[in-house]
Each structure stands twice: as C-alpha cells, then as structure tokens.
Amino acid sequence: MADSRHHAAVAAPAATHVVVKDVAKGYPGVRALAPIAFSVQPGERLALAGPSGSGKTTLLYLLAGLLQPDAGQLCIDGRDLAEMRPGRELARLVGMVHQQYDLVSSLPVLHNVLAGRLGQWSLAGSALSLIWPRERHLAEEALARLGIADKASQRTSRLSGGEQQRVAIARLMLQSPRIILADEPVSSLDPALAEEMMRLLVDLVEGSGKTLIASLHSPYLIKKYCTRVIGLRQGEMQFDLPAADLTEAVLDRLYDLDRRRPENGAIRQE
C-alpha cells in the first residue's frame, strides 16, 4: 500500500485526471444536464446510470469533445477541452465506443481498426484515405489478440455483433487514448457477450492508469467491472457512490422502479 502510494505520487503528473466543473447543457426547450460537478482520478472505472433521457449520452459527448457545454468547464489533465483542437490531439486523450460501435460497415475490418490511428471525428473519410502499411501489422496484432485475425479483410457488415464489438475494441487499442468512454456498450449484446465486452474494456484500462467512463444499467455489471457509479436523473446527479455500495433500493429510486412495478398498481403492462 505504502509502495503504491509512493509510486503514484512520483508517477502522476496531474493530481486530477478529469474535472467536470459546474457543467450545464441544454437543447432547444430541454434541460439535458443541470450544472453538475465531479472529478475522476486515473484508473477509476466510472459507471453512469440513469433512466432514458437523464443525460448520460450528453455527458459522454461533452467529455469526448463532441458537444460544447453551455456553462462550466471540462478539463482533462489540467487542460480545458474547449481549448483543444479536435482530431489527433483530442484523440490521444479520449476515445469513445458508441452503442452501435460506429464502424464503417462497407469497409474491410482492417480499415476500421486502422482508423484508430487517425483523428477520430471524420471516421469514414479517415478510413477511406488510409493505407498505411507501416501500421497494418499493429491492426493485425490487435485483431489476433482478440481472436479475429482471420476477419481482417472481410467487409465489416458481414461480422456478427460480437465480432464487430471486438473490431471496435481493436480500433481503441490502436488509438490508445487515456480515457475510454463507452455509451451503453452492452445494450445490444447477450449476457455472455456483455461480460466479454466489459472484460475487454477493463483490460484496456487496467494497470495502465487509464480511465473508463461507461453508461451502464446493470447493477451486476457495474459492481463487477466498475469502481464507482454516478446516478443521473433529469440531468442532475442523484448519487455518486463506490460501485460496491450500489444497492437495489438506490437503483429502484433512480429508475423509479418502485412506482413502475405493476404490483404497486402505478403503471400497468401494456
């Protein structure tokens, strides 16, 4: 314990990794995020939980630099995201797995993986413009580590959901950002693939001081794979807990399940 603290004190260049400082975001007629504030330390694995419309995607997009806040400030390693140029500079810091993986389905797998080496915001353009033989072996290595080396030259659309998820992970392996954001990464997967996806995401960050921030609904996955959980509801932070302290009662309140359960007579099943 003393050793690891000493190591952290020497190795960590910035005390606070991610700072969300009084950040608010709205869309016309909608308050998506009320001013919220929290910070994240290197190595944390943070789950964002909350009902539909609570602001999870909005928060992840703000952290990815894909949206700008209406008020407040987002900083990574002491630098304001608003002052960072999109593209490669940001891509070194932050990478995102979207719910549908955001792969270009008409392209071969290899091109989608290699896109991790380029600025990430114009993915289709980047993927089309590249043939970097120098980097090709990195993509092939990543695919081999994930057990799909034989798929490298296949059209991405021909892959199963589970294989596409590994292509998205391979792309992140090449991008190697400090912070990995994942928006409902398991929502369209069966339970076994969901666990595999969480394991792959944790493997990407564990032991390297990288940070994972993922929107997740399953208390089981949150407790097993995350260290901390923030509950969002109508754009406000309802709780911020160690994942181990998450209880059914806390989640039921967040999702309003006690009112929604049919046995309580509030809402009937259609």
Ligand X SMILES: Nc1ncnc2c1ncn2[C@@H]1O[C@H](COP(=O)(O)OP(=O)(O)OP(=O)(O)O)[C@@H](O)[C@H]1O
Closer residue to ligand X (CB): 12 or 189:
189
57 is a contact residue toward Mg ion (CB under 5 A): yes
Judged by beta carbon, residue 14 or residue 30, the one nearer ligand X is 30
Given a contact cutoff of 8 angstroms between Cβ atoms, the answer to whether 55 and 32 are in contact is yes
Task: Give the length of the chain.
Answer: 270
Whole-number minimum distance, CB 264 to Mg ion, in Å? 27
**Which residue bears the tokens 């928060």?**
59
Of ligand X, Mg ion, none, which one does residue 55 interact with (CB within 5 to 8 Å by kind)? ligand X
For residue 58, state whether it binds Mg ion (rule: CB under 5 A).
no
Q: Is residue 213 involved in binding ligand X (CB under 6 A)? A: no
CA distance 1 to 261: 45
**Between residues 57 and 120, which has the closer beta carbon with respect to Mg ion?**
57
Kindly determine how many residues on this chain lie close enough to bind ligand X according to the rule CB under 6 A. Answer: 11
Dihedral pair phi/psi, residue 256, rounded to 5° = 60, 35
By beta-carbon proximity to Mg ion, the closer residue of 42 and 50 is 50
Enumerate residues 150-189 that contact Mg ion by CB under 5 A.
none
Restricting to residues 97-136, which ones interact with ligand X according to CB under 6 A? none
Query: Which of 27-35, 107-115, 244-252, 254-262 is the region at the interface with ligand X (rule: CB under 6 A)?
Result: 27-35
Stretch that binds ligand X, among 49-57, 150-158, 199-207, 254-262 (CB under 6 A): 49-57
Which CB, 27 or 132, lies closer to ligand X? 27
- x/- track of binding to ligand X for residues 179-198 (CB under 6 A): --------------------
Determine contact, residues 146/169, Cβ cutoff 8 Å.
yes
Q: Cβ of residue 64: shortest distance to ligand X, in angstroms?
A: 13
Instruction: Identify which range of 36-44, 49-57, 232-240, 256-264 contacts Mg ion by CB under 5 A.
Output: 49-57
Q: What angle do CA 77, 82, 83 make, to 5 degrees?
A: 75
In the range 53-72, which residues lie near ligand X by CB under 6 A?
53-58
Could you tell me the smallest distance in angstroms from the CB atom of residue 54 to ligand X? Answer: 4
Residue 219, interface with ligand X (CB under 6 A)? no
**Assigned token pair, 81:** 């995201």
List, in sequence order, every residue forming a beta bridge with 27; answer none if it has no partner.
30
**How many residues interact with Mg ion (rule CB under 5 A)?**
2
Which CB, 150 or 240, lies closer to ligand X? 240
Which residues contribute to the site for ligand X (CB under 6 A)?
27, 30, 32, 50, 52-58
